[in-house]
Amino acid sequence: MSYFRATAPDVFLTVLRRRAPDICRRDLLFRWEAAVRRVEQAEFAPLENMWGQTDDRRIQLADNIPVRCMLPTLLHEAMHFLVYQRRVTRSSVWKELGADEEHDVMERIDDRLIFMY
């Protein structure tokens, strides 16, 4: 986990700089504790056509998920809603990243987070 915490900001910055070349580390907020809590409280559910899903509060794994897919799926789902970018708007300062950006980061970290067999 400590290696991931040390390297993840750089990977996120690399991906986000495609859209916003001036972005820097202070423009990113990592919600590590919330991600860990979602993993610890993950539950099984009757999902169809996917191994897992998440919102910013919980992770659900398909009740028929193969054991070999559990860890990559938990990590994949935990990385959603992990990082928020400083974008000042009328409603807030921190905005979620889009799923496409999150998936680009996951693939750069380890393509098994995207392509599970």
pLDDT greater at residue 74 or residue 92: 74
Q: Tell me how far apart the alpha carbons of residues 85 and 52 are, in angstroms, rounded to a whole number.
A: 24
Query: What is residue 12's predicted lDDT score, i.e. its pLDDT?
Result: 86
Quickly state the pLDDT bin for 6 (edges 50, 70, 90): low
pLDDT higher than threshold 60 for residue 1: no
Query: What is residue 21's predicted lDDT score, i.e. its pLDDT?
Result: 84
**Can you give the pTM of this predicted structure?**
0.83
SS3 for the chain is CHHHHHHHHHHHHHHHCCCCCCCCHHHEEECHHHHHHHHHCCEEECCCCCCEEECCCCEEEECCCCHHHHHHHHHHHHHCCCEEEECCCCCCCEEECCHHHHHHHHHHHCHHHCCCC
Q: What is the pLDDT of residues 38-89, one digit of tens each?
A: 999 999 999 999 999 999 899 999 999 999 999 999 999 999 999 998 887 7
Quickly state the pLDDT bin for 116 (edges 50, 70, 90): low
